[in-house]
A and B are shown apart, each in its own frame.
Chain A
Amino acid sequence: MLQFLSKLAARSPWIYRINAGSCNGCDVEMATTALIPRYDVERLGCKYCGSPRHADVVLISGPLTLRVRDKVLRVYNEIPHPKVTVAVGVCPVSGGCFRDGYTVGADIDHYIPLDVIVPGCPPRPQAIMEGVLKAVEIWRARLEESVCSHS
């Protein structure tokens, strides 16, 4: 039964966005990916959700400023396992042009394991979709693993 459910669930990953001190460029692109009919990530079964407790795929943007670091980690820990993290833009990976700033905690990999990275400043919506598709593959594999280990 669980395996059947997990097979069904894998077709509609829910996406949650975390803004870790981003300049809003990547957030606009992420919103574009979902809301504009031209890109429309929802036809792939993905859906943006409002609560971290419903999320499967997490999109993180921004260089993880020190002010939001603890809050981001708190929200991240609320997301149920198995979760897949997608870093959108170059900031989460390297800090981008904010690198070595006094409030910047990048790279995020010290705090949160990054599974998929979509570099760009900001990446174009199709690139984000590509990243999400990669993340869904990883998530599917993890889902099967975790279900098998439970049953």
Chain B
Amino acid sequence: MFPFLKIMLRNLLLGPSTDAFPFAPAKTHENFRGCAVFDPEKCILCGICHHVCAAGAIQLRPSEDGAGMQYLLWHNSCVFCGMCAHYCPTGALTMSNNWHLAHTGAEMFSNCISSFIPFGECAQCGAKIQPRPQAIIDKLGVRSPERFLLCPQCKRQSIVRNVAQVRSTRRQENP
């Protein structure tokens, strides 16, 4: 007879549907893609994040003295696509569910991730190579952990030395 009575009663029982947001923390899904979080300890300066960034929010600037790279991620350009976190080989970049990014215009150029990442050193000759944090050693340097810490030239030499050694032992075994 009065179908609206049912709806009215239900709405009265359910209470307001408005989020209490400014007065209480808003509900955020844990998979919500907010701003990126950067862990400089894990970065190997491979530059894949810079390569896949659709909005061009990531910059890698070599420092003047050649000691490392300045890593910059501008939150004001980032479109939260999450490509950098997807392609990051070491998990240095991850997407958080933090969306509290509103800031005043004066902070426009400080709203970024900025960290200096020093180059690694070759374990043999001390030349500058990409940094070798534990995260990438566990992933790529499992087969020959010692050779993984060398610069390309030392690595080549060590391989040649290795091959020569193997050949000489073979020759000795079957002359």
Contact = CB atoms under 8 A, between A and B. Distances in A.
Contact of B55 (A99, A123, A129, A131): A99
Interface of B: 16-19, 21-22, 26, 32, 54-57, 74-81, 99-105, 107-108, 111
22 contacts: A37-B16, A39-B19, A87-B105, A90-B77, A94-B57, A94-B74, A94-B77, A96-B55, A96-B79, A113-B105, A115-B104, A116-B102, A117-B104, A119-B75, A120-B101, A124-B32, A126-B21, A126-B26, A126-B99, A129-B21, A129-B22, A130-B100
A60 to B, nearest CB: 12
A109 B78 contact: no
A116 B22 contact: no
B88 to A, nearest CB: 20
Main secondary structure of the interface of B (DSSP, over half): loop
B55 A44 contact: no
Contacts of B54: 97
Interface residues of A, number: 35
A99 B19 CA distance: 35
Interface of A: 37-40, 43-44, 85, 87, 90, 93-97, 99, 109, 113-121, 123-124, 126-127, 129-131, 133-134, 138
